[in-house]
Chain A
Amino acid sequence: MIFGFNGQEIIACLLMGAGLVFLIGSMVGMLRLPDYYSRVHASGNSETLGTLLVFLGLMVFNGFSNVSAKIFIIAVFVFLGNPIGSHILAKAAYKTGHPVWTKKQAVQHELSTEPTSSIATAEEKEAQANADLHG
């Protein structure tokens, strides 16, 4: 008995708290990552794990009953449907020629958003370093 909860409720709270962390991580990744492929990575993995952990916590909280079996069936549907949907969407985007985010684009984007253009680009710095190295 901690804070008036018995052991079953404490385990359910821990599982649902872990699921909540993954759900919020998935949300932050969907909003802040730069590319479609990285965003589908955030939503495909973390969302599925967070949903499954919260469903597992609800099953532990409810005990061994009819409702727990139905929640298990829903968890199986989510576990099959969410990664397959993400995978097939990413495959469709790649087959239709959706552009892939690279580091070069990131450097150009940072330079284009800077107010002053006095800083040399990465390629110029690399060329200067090669010239210094090779005489």
Chain B
Amino acid sequence: MQIFFLVIMAALIMTIGLMLQRLFQGPTIFDRMNGLGVITADTILLIVLFGFLDKQPGMYVDLAMAYAMMGCLGSVVLAKYLGGKKL
């Protein structure tokens, strides 16, 4: 079961690396925001999986919950800023 967690964590780290490429060379500001949202969602999953790999998930789940609350609000606030009065 540990090797299965390791496979998913490897795929998530590869996704985060490729989303950094989208974050730096994205043609518009909206592409950069989209890549940042994907990195946030993957990082939450990565923290929880690392807790299960460490065999004490109780601590890491709290960290992931705080990070999920931040990521839930951040993209909405920045989109309201980018969209202007019309949104």
Chain A residues near B (Cβ < 8 Å) = 5, 9, 12-13, 16, 19-20, 23-24, 26-27, 30-31, 36, 39-40, 43, 47-48, 51, 54-55, 58, 61-62, 66-67, 70-71, 73-74, 77-78, 80-82, 84-86, 88-93, 95-96, 98
Contacts and interface: CB of A to CB of B under 8 A. Distances in A.
Given A67-B57, A88-B80, A96-B82, A40 B87 contact: no
Given A23-B15, A77-B69, A81-B72, 16 more contacts: A5-B1, A16-B8, A23-B12, A30-B18, A30-B19, A31-B18, A54-B45, A73-B65, A77-B65, A82-B41, A84-B72, A84-B76, A89-B30, A91-B87, A92-B84, A93-B30
A86 B34 contact: yes
A31 B16 CA distance: 12
A92 B37 contact: no
B34 A54 contact: no
A82 B73 CA distance: 10
Contact of A43 (B28, B38, B44, B49): B38
**Top-9 shortest CB links A-B:** A81-B72, A92-B83, A85-B75, A77-B68, A88-B79, A70-B61, A27-B15, A93-B30, A89-B79
Contacts of A77: 65, 68-69, 72
B11 A20 contact: yes
Most chain B beta-carbon neighbours within 10 Å: one of A26, A30, A47, A89: A89
B19 A89 contact: no
Interface residues of B, number: 48
A26 B22 CA distance: 13
Contacts of A48: 41
Contacts of B80: 88, 92
A104 to B, nearest CB: 19
Contacts of A95: 83-84, 86-87
Nearest to A12: B1
